[in-house]
Amino acid sequence: MEHPENHTDYKGLTVNSGVSQPPVVNPYLKRRKKRSLPSAGELVEGILAGDITRLSRAVTLVESTAPDHQALAQEVIEKCLPHSGNSRRIGITGVPGAGKSTSIDVFGLHVLKSGGKLAVLAIDPSSERTKGSILGDKTRMERLSVHPNAFIRPSPSAGSLGGVARKTRETIVLCEAAGFNNIFVETVGVGQSETAVHSMVDFFLLLQLAGTGDELQGIKRGIMEMADGIVINKADGDNINRAQLAQAQFRSALHLFPPTASGWQPEVLTYSGYYELGIPEVWDMIDRYFAFVSENGYFEKRRLQQARYWMYETIDEQLRRHFYDNPAIAAALAEKEQRVLDNRQSSFTAARDILDIYFASGNR
């Protein structure tokens, strides 16, 4: 329709009809090809040659939930397994603010001084909730992140703690096959993720802070019991005396614990990550631990125990996923749950009914 202002009687400006708008979506985008998957052979070859791009690609596949990615990842892991195992796996935990990033940066540089390569991985249960990973973020380890022999990978973010932990363990295998002879696995010292980390490392380092009052307050006994070494960070400036006091308290607390399975007496040291004080001493303790457990056979024994543990963990996780991913189960669960909540059925018979559906659905 002609604009009223274009009428010959109208004395104002002329208004032209508008031009038609282009479609919102760029039609050329459709033509972009999906990145095709590399072959397992290509990935394995790249990993064994220490190619970081291929390693990262394989780790991304490990983290993916897509069935074709998973199948490929498993094939790559299987082929890398014979080339793995040749590393020191060190778990590092501490509450937020304990100085993990600062310390890993400094410890990492210290380790790399004597050659070799270092991979820093993380298990961060909170990333499930926040959908974004905090741990392993490259900006947190400034110097390490630009070191040519360091590989920093954030925590896998999807799935249950068990799933996240399995992915990290599989990533360890890939990193070792790529020649990384030092592996750090970082976790926030607040919950169950320590148990997961403990089940995949040779040495478990607990970072602590000297606070005011009771130093041992709020530290889960279980976490302390897992530690092969406790290091009190921020032993600098005015804080030195408090750090030493905390050290004494931790030492006496450790004496109350039963002897460790390795026969190693966990040590307590103070250091400063920020001012880089006491770093060689911390590393000397870790070296002594490795010498001790290699000598008495515990190193090998613990790795075998962990391999067995992971076999059962994987079975548990796969069974659970297979069960909950079954559409018949998903439908029945909601209904049965409501019946239980309405007190119309007991938990046990409801569970029994659902399991019957599962077993009757001919699972393969």
Q: Is 120 helix (H, G, I), strand (E, B) or coil?
A: strand
Q: Does 22 bind ligand GDP (CB under 6 A)?
A: no
Of the candidate residues 75, 137, 236, 337, the single one contacting ligand GDP (CB under 6 A): 236
Q: Does 100 bind ligand GDP (CB under 6 A)?
A: yes
b/e 321-349 (16+ beta carbons within 10 angstroms → b): eeeeebeebeebbeebeebbeeeebeeee
Site for ligand GDP in 274-303 (CB under 6 A): 274-275
CA atoms of 13 and 271, how far apart (whole Å)? 79
Question: From the CB of 149, what's the least distance to ligand GDP, in Å?
Answer: 21
Instruction: Rank residues 189 and 266 by Cβ distance to ligand GDP and give the closer one.
Output: 189
Q: Does 94 bind ligand GDP (CB under 6 A)?
A: yes
Question: From the CB of 97, what's the least distance to ligand GDP, in Å?
Answer: 5
CA atoms of 59 and 167, how far apart (whole Å)? 8
Whats the size of the chain, residue-wise? 364
Q: Does 102 bind ligand GDP (CB under 6 A)?
A: yes
| The two three-digit tokens of residue 274, written as one number | 């920020």
CA atoms of 288 and 266, how far apart (whole Å)? 11
Question: From the CB of 144, what's the least distance to ligand GDP, in Å?
Answer: 12
Beta carbons of 314 and 200 less than 8 angstroms apart: no
Q: Does 91 bind ligand GDP (CB under 6 A)?
A: no
Q: Is 364 helix (H, G, I), strand (E, B) or coil?
A: coil
Instruction: Rank residues 91 and 99 by Cβ distance to ligand GDP and give the closer one.
Output: 99
Question: From the CB of 233, what's the least distance to ligand GDP, in Å?
Answer: 5
- Alpha carbon 170 to its chain centroid, in Å, reads 11
Instruction: Rank residues 76 and 111 by Cβ distance to ligand GDP and give the closer one.
Output: 111
Instruction: Rank residues 96 and 280 by Cβ distance to ligand GDP and give the closer one.
Output: 96
How many chain residues interact with ligand GDP (CB under 6 A)?
Answer: 15
Question: From the CB of 287, what's the least distance to ligand GDP, in Å?
Answer: 21
Instruction: Rank residues 54 and 242 by Cβ distance to ligand GDP and give the closer one.
Output: 242
Name the segment binding ligand GDP (CB under 6 A); options: 197-205, 271-279, 284-292, 335-343.
271-279
Of the candidate residues 233, 247, 270, 345, the single one contacting ligand GDP (CB under 6 A): 233
Q: Does 134 bind ligand GDP (CB under 6 A)?
A: no
DSSP 76-100: HHHHHGGG---SEEEEEEE-TTSSH
| The two three-digit tokens of residue 105, written as one number | 């940066």
Instruction: Rank residues 45 and 236 by Cβ distance to ligand GDP and give the closer one.
Output: 236
CA atoms of 339 and 334, how far apart (whole Å)? 9
Q: Does 117 bind ligand GDP (CB under 6 A)?
A: no
Name the segment binding ligand GDP (CB under 6 A); options: 30-38, 94-102, 111-119, 295-303.
94-102
Q: Does 99 bind ligand GDP (CB under 6 A)?
A: yes
Beta carbons of 242 and 215 less than 8 angstroms apart: no
Residue 228 parent element (H or E): none
Residues 6 or more apart whose CB falls under 8 angstroms from that of 11 comprise none
Name the segment binding ligand GDP (CB under 6 A); options: 190-198, 273-281, 312-320, 336-344.
273-281
Q: Does 273 bind ligand GDP (CB under 6 A)?
A: yes
CA angle at residue 201 from 278 to 150, to 5 degrees? 65
Bridge partners of 254? none
Residue 162 to residues 50, 306, 319: CA-CA distances in angstroms? Answer: 28, 14, 12
Q: Does 96 bind ligand GDP (CB under 6 A)?
A: yes
Q: Does 234 bind ligand GDP (CB under 6 A)?
A: yes
Q: Does 89 bind ligand GDP (CB under 6 A)?
A: no
Q: Is 285 helix (H, G, I), strand (E, B) or coil?
A: helix
Which residues contribute to the site for ligand GDP (CB under 6 A)? 94, 96-102, 233-234, 236, 272-275
